[in-house]
Structure 1
Amino acid sequence: MRRWSIATRLFALQFIVILALTAGAVAVIWADARADVDRDAADRSLAVAETIAHDPFVERAVAQADPTSTLQPYAVDIMAATGVDFVTIMSPDRIRYTHRDPSEIGKQFIGTIDRALAGQSFTETYTGTLGPSVRAVVPIRAVDSDGSGPVIALVSVGITVSNTQIALGERITTVLIAAALALLVGGAASWALSRYLRRVTAGRGAEEMSRMFAYYEGVLHSIGEGLVLQDTARNVVLYNDRAAELLGIPPIRADRRADPAAVPLGKLPLADEVAAVLARHDVAVDEIVITPTHVLVVDRDRIVARGGFVGTVTTLRDHTRLQELTGELATMTTLSDALRSQAHEFANRLHTIIALIELDRAPEAAELAVSELELSQRLADRILTAVEEPVLLALLLGKSAQAAERGVTLDVVLPQRIPGAAVPPQELITIVGNLIDNALDAVAGSAGAVVRVEVEPFEASAGLRISVADSGAGPDPEVADRLFERGVSTKRTEGHGIGLALVRQAVARQGGSISVEGSRFTVVLPATAESTRLAEADR
């Protein structure tokens, strides 16, 4: 059985509350109106009774031998003129002189008269011959010089309850119409609100919404990709733990996940590259964003609900390790290609040496073999004796072979010894490999092309200073300030502009710095706790 939706429950609750409030208001108004009608009837009856009691005509008439003959027509005229239901004039011993029903004349009055006999006027609700009525009883005094003569008769004027209810009904009709209108307006407002809630909640119940929130919460914080939700003003509404890790911002506390407040982009410690992407309005597909610590692939889409555009969702994938592996693969590929080229070249030279030997020209063959091996062997021996890190060793050997193929002289200046693990191997590949590639691309094809690589330890051999320079003129001054931004390159062809950005990122991860002076790029990598420990162990 499907449970009621939130909209239906809210509509039913509001309608019941409105109905109860309307009923309560009608009851209160009914009681107040009834009290007003009874009070008006009592006041009118008292006013008419006192007027009659102070009429000299009545005083003279009650003193006659037959008061009824004079007072009954008088009472009938009073009833017709004032709209009261009865006017009863009686003797102090309750004998009626007048009555609405002539057959009741001469009989005893039914009601309270003690207070009137004592000289007081009063009102009451009492059931007499005409049924329940609101009546006033007033004493009729003999005219005296001081106005306090004896009570010679009594007058009772009243309005039956049935007539008061008629007056009450006229008032209640208005009240009921107003209550019906209030109920109608309140019901319409509740229906409109429930319709809106049904639209925005898709007719789901509270329990279903709670389960959906729990599911979405679990998915949001368990996926391996970063997720950032923004509203139409580009404020960050929600992000998961992975996004906080990739963007370097504090995670949302668990007690605020149910109702997180939107945070303006400017208040989050975001990298400029990421902030620029999140501040845009367009859709992004597989866009590469390089931050000081990560290489991110960004996908961004618009969120459109039934009411229109409501915000954007951005997913972040970490490709830092992929870029590192790509760099390592490129280095190994370079070394492999260089070795294959050298093998082909050595085969040609070996055939030449064999031919010289067959021609009985052994001295020339020996001289050719030694001269060709001397330069490369000297470089290899220098690198092998100085570099203890195998990855850097392979990188430098591979780049030297690659430089030779491209007609560039690679001059490597190394200290007596570079301790292993001073810098993580993957960071060395990214830094040194991209700087050498950049230099080779800059001078390849030019006359007398030279690339110089200098590696110098400092801080008791725990830190490294790496310098790569070429014989070219250096980068264009117009792009020098933006050279380490992604997509900025001095090359004309596409597919460039990421190598130096990766260098900057790797240097930042190591807490180092990079500077450019002409065609010389200098990277300073400070000592770390691990590199210091290894340097001290080697001493």
Structure 2
Amino acid sequence: MIRIRKEDLSIYRTKNKPFFNLHLKMISLIGALSITIILIIGGFMSFFVTDTLETQIGERALSVAKSVAVIPEISQAFESNNPSAIIQPIVQKIQAQTDAEFIVVGNQQEIRYAHPAPERIGEKMIGEDNERALQYGESYTSRSTGSLGNSLRAKAPVYLNGEIVGVVSVGFLVDSIESIIWGYSKEIWLVLLGVCTAAIIGAVLIANYIKNVLFGLEPEEISHLLFQKETILYSIHEGIIAINKDGRITMVNSAALKLLTGDEQRADEWIGKPIQESFPNSDLPYVLEHGESVFDQERVFSNHIVYVNSVPIFYEQELLGAVATFRNKTEIEKLTKKLTHIQQYANALRSQTHEFANKLYTIMGLTQLNKKDEVLDFIRQETSIQQHWTNTLLDNINDPYISGLLVGKLSQANELQINVSIQPDSQFQCPT
């Protein structure tokens, strides 16, 4: 069973992380993107509101100017001795009803007959934008600075008996228009500010979520781990196959495919396939269902006898999937035989060492007893026997491994006081 804890993955984190890490990058990028979009939307909405309001106010002023210009009493008043006495009262009532900043009526010489400030009646109109109405009879809107300040105004000609006798100017001060626009824009920007705040909070939450999902690892660390995983997966001789909790293959290396299918195939062709359809006699579905490990199971895949170990994968007590490792039985048996031979060599060497130590003790004892002749006879005897066995084995067996093994066995037999004899004409020759 493989149990992974979140703390176990902290070993892969770089100790000296950059200050501008993935967490801050995501918050900055998402926040900057949200702010940019909101600024673009806010700017467009402000422009749209400004243009719309100015257009509507201009059309409203033009409508009022045209309506005033066609009032019969006003056009007929131009023939009277005191036109302002007739026109001013009419215009004041209309101005109060339409909420216009000013309604000014002037004659062909641009002399005022009506004005919001009565003391300015009789003076010349200011703005120099009456030419199109007085000379060409056009009705239009314009921006200009008059006696009351900068304003958006509408001009309409006054006709009497088919001739242009004057002009009506209806206007709204720019300051008043801007205050109206600011009122609408302020509401828009407040809403967008709330959206921007929500977007930044969302960016922080998303960054925290992704940071937790990635276990706090940086993109460079993830790519390094992925490269390590792929390298290890395809360099080991043991077959590995993993599935997710839905029973679909998520990882398989070429060694596993060679054991399970008989030939090397592309691993990506198997990714996403159900394990039960791909390898019906696999133990992984059982492991996934019961959450229990299965060890040293002998299975046959594509004429290969393999040993399989299957274990579940848990993360924070949650079963995420299972993984199985495969090992060719033939290779394991070969390895076991090699280990057995090595053990035999070790035992032979141990026996030889022990026998040699006994002979040294014998020589030492005879030397201490001052038995020099016996010592020489003992050495000659042992040398003769050893040389006899060595020459016999080297002459009759040309494989050094077998010769060494037999020499070790002879030494072990001598230690155990077992009489071993080899026929002088025995041979064990390997073909060349």
TM above 0.5, yes or no, is: yes
1:25 is matched with 41
Distance 2:273 2:81 in 1: 102
| Residues 505-516 of structure 1 mapped to structure 2, 5 A cutoff | none
Query: Between the two proteins, what is the percent identity of the paired residues?
Result: 23
How far has the Cα of 1:315 moved from its partner? 2.0
Q: Deviations over 1:477-513 (max 9, x none)?
A: xxxxxxxxxxxxxxxxxxxxxxxxxxxxxxxxxxxxx
Structure 1 counterpart SS, 2:114: coil
Q: Which amino acid aligns with 1:196?
A: Y
Specify which of 54, 61, 67 is matched with residue 45 of structure 1: 61
Match of 1:159 among 152, 166, 172: 172
1:290 is matched with 299
What residue number does 1:140 align with? 158
Runs ≥4 in structure 1, deviation > 4 angstroms? 249-252, 324-330
Tell me the amino acid that sits aligned with residue 2 of structure 1. K
Contact 2:234 2:255 in 1 (8 A): yes
The alpha-carbon distance between structure 1 residues 211 and 158, as it changes in their structure 2 partners (threshold 3 A), is same
Any residues of structure 2 matched to 1:516-535 within 5 Å, and which? Answer: none
Matches within 5 A, 1:312-327: 312-323=322-333
Equivalent position of 1:211 in the other structure:
224
Distance in 1, Cα, partners of 2:296 & 2:330 = 14
Q: 2:75 aligns with which of 59, 62, 66?
A: 59
Match of 2:96 among 80, 88, 104: 80
Match of 1:311 among 299, 321, 326: 321
- Worse-matched range after superposition: 32-41 or 221-230: 221-230
Bigger drift between 17-26 and 171-180 goes to 171-180
Q: How does 1:223-234 map to 2 (within 5 A)?
A: 223-234=236-247
SS in 2 for 1:173: helix
2:158 is paired with a residue whose SS is strand
Is 1:198 matched up with 2:207?
A: no
- Report how far residue 5 of structure 1 moved: 3.9
Match of 1:375 in 2: none
Q: 1:224, CA displacement in angstroms?
A: 2.9
Query: Residues 289-334 of structure 1: CA distance to partner in whole angstroms, max 9, x if unpaired?
Result: 221543433222222335932211222233323346779999xxxx
Greater helix share, 1 or 2?
Answer: 2
**SS of residue in 2 equivalent to 1:162:** helix
What are structure 2's unaligned runs of at least 5 residues? 1-15, 341-432
Quick check: 1:263 aligned with 2:269?
no
Q: Choose the corresponding residue for 1:279, options 285, 303, 306.
A: 285
1:157 aligns to what SS in structure 2? Answer: strand
2:106 matched residue in structure 1:
90
For 2:188, the equivalent position in structure 1 comes to 175
In the alignment, the residues of structure 2 paired with residue 2 and residue 208 of structure 1 have an alpha-carbon distance, to the nearest angstrom, of 10
Q: Does 1:113 align with 2:126?
A: no
Structure 1 residues 144-175: Cα deviation after superposition (integer angstroms, max 9, x where no partner) = 4xxxx101111100001111112211221221
- Give the secondary structure class of the aligned counterpart of 1:279: helix
- Shift of the alpha carbon at 1:124? 1.1
**d(CA) in 1 for partners of 2:44, 2:238:** 63
The 3-state SS of whatever aligns with 1:112 is: coil
Distance in 2, Cα, partners of 1:222 & 1:328: 23
| 8 A Cα contact 1:6 1:197, kept in partner | no
Whole-angstrom distance in 1 between the partners of 2:27 and 2:114: 62
2:299–2:308 contact (8 Å) kept in structure 1? no
Which residue of structure 1 aligns with residue 117 of structure 2?
A: 101
| 1:237 to 2:255 alignment | no
Q: Which residue of 2 aligns with 1:491?
A: none
**Greater RCO, 1 or 2 (C-alpha within 8 Å, sep 6+):** 2
Tell me the residue number matched to 2:234: 221
User: Residues 133 and 186 from structure 1, CA distance in 2 versus in 1: closer, same or farther, beyond 3 angstroms?
Assistant: same
Post-superposition CA distance 1:447-483 (Å, at most 9, x none): xxxxxxxxxxxxxxxxxxxxxxxxxxxxxxxxxxxxx
Once the two structures are superposed, residues 346-382 of structure 1 have per-residue CA deviations (whole angstroms, 9 ceiling, x without a partner) of xxxxxxxxxxxxxxxxxxxxxxxxxxxxxxxxxxxxx
Q: Distance in 1 between matches of 2:46 and 2:76?
A: 44
Is the CA contact 2:35–2:196 (under 8 Å) kept in the aligned structure 1? yes
Match of 1:193, SS? helix
Task: Tell me whether 119-128 or 40-49 shows the greater mean CA deviation.
Answer: 119-128
- Give the aligned partner of residue 534 of structure 1: none
Contact between 1:296 and 1:316, CA under 8 Å: does it hold in 2?
Answer: yes
Asked if the contact 1:75–1:87 (Cα under 8 Å) also holds between the matched residues in 2, the reply is yes
Shift of residue 62 of structure 1?
Answer: 2.6
1:127-526 equivalences in 2 (<5 Å): 127-142=145-160, 144=161, 149-248=162-261, 251=264, 253=266, 256=268, 261-268=271-278, 270=279, 272-273=280-281, 275=282, 277-280=283-286, 281=288, 282-292=291-301, 293-306=303-316, 308-323=318-333
1:283 positional shift: 2.6
Give aligned pairs, total: 318
Structure 1 contact 121–139 (Cα < 8 Å) conserved: yes
What secondary structure is seen at the aligned counterpart in 2 of 1:182? helix
- Root-mean-square deviation (CA, aligned residues, Å) is 2.6
Checking the alignment, whether the CA contact within 8 Å between 1:5 and 1:206 is kept in structure 2 is: no
Distance in 1, matches of 2:24 and 2:271, equals: 29
Question: Structure 1 counterpart of 2:129, which letter?
Answer: T
Q: Give how far 1:266 is off.
A: 4.7
Contact 1:95 1:107 in 2 (8 A): yes
> In the aligned structure 2, how far is the partner of 1:62 from the partner of 1:250?
109
Deviation at residue 76 of structure 1 after TM alignment? 2.5
2:32 aligns to what? 16
Question: How high is the TM-score relative to the length of structure 1?
Answer: 0.55
Normalization by structure 2: what TM-score? 0.67
**CA-CA distance at 1:252 after TM superposition:** 6.0
Q: Name the SS for the 2:198 alignment partner.
A: helix
Q: Distance in 2 between the 1:165 and 1:23 partners?
A: 20
AA matched with 2:191: A
